[in-house]
Amino acid sequence: MEKGVKAVSEARTSRDIATQCPAGQWMAMNAVAQHGVSIAPACRTFQISETCYRYCPVLSDENEEIADWLERLTANKRSWG
């Protein structure tokens, strides 16, 4: 299973990882990719679970559209919230 995870983490660019992933996940992935550290020790070092290490959100165009609507709504209705 680690080979599949390694292939997935190598397939993503560091820019994708840095913009979409939390800092601990990015640091653990960097330690695995750049320094040859195993996944389990890297996760313990940066205090994240292995599930968090493997998780990568898939952003869709719909999410971006919803975010745009929310930004416009809050700009137009400043008294809300």
Residue 35 vs residue 9, higher pLDDT: 35
Alpha helices for 12-81 (secondary structure H): 14-20, 23-35, 39-45, 50-54, 61-76
Average pLDDT over all residues of the chain: 79
State yes or no: pLDDT of 12 exceeds 60: no
Q: Where are the domains of the chain?
A: 2-76
For the whole model, what pTM was predicted? 0.51
The residue behind tokens 């994708």 is 16
**Helix pair 2-11, 23-35: axis angle to 10 deg:** 110
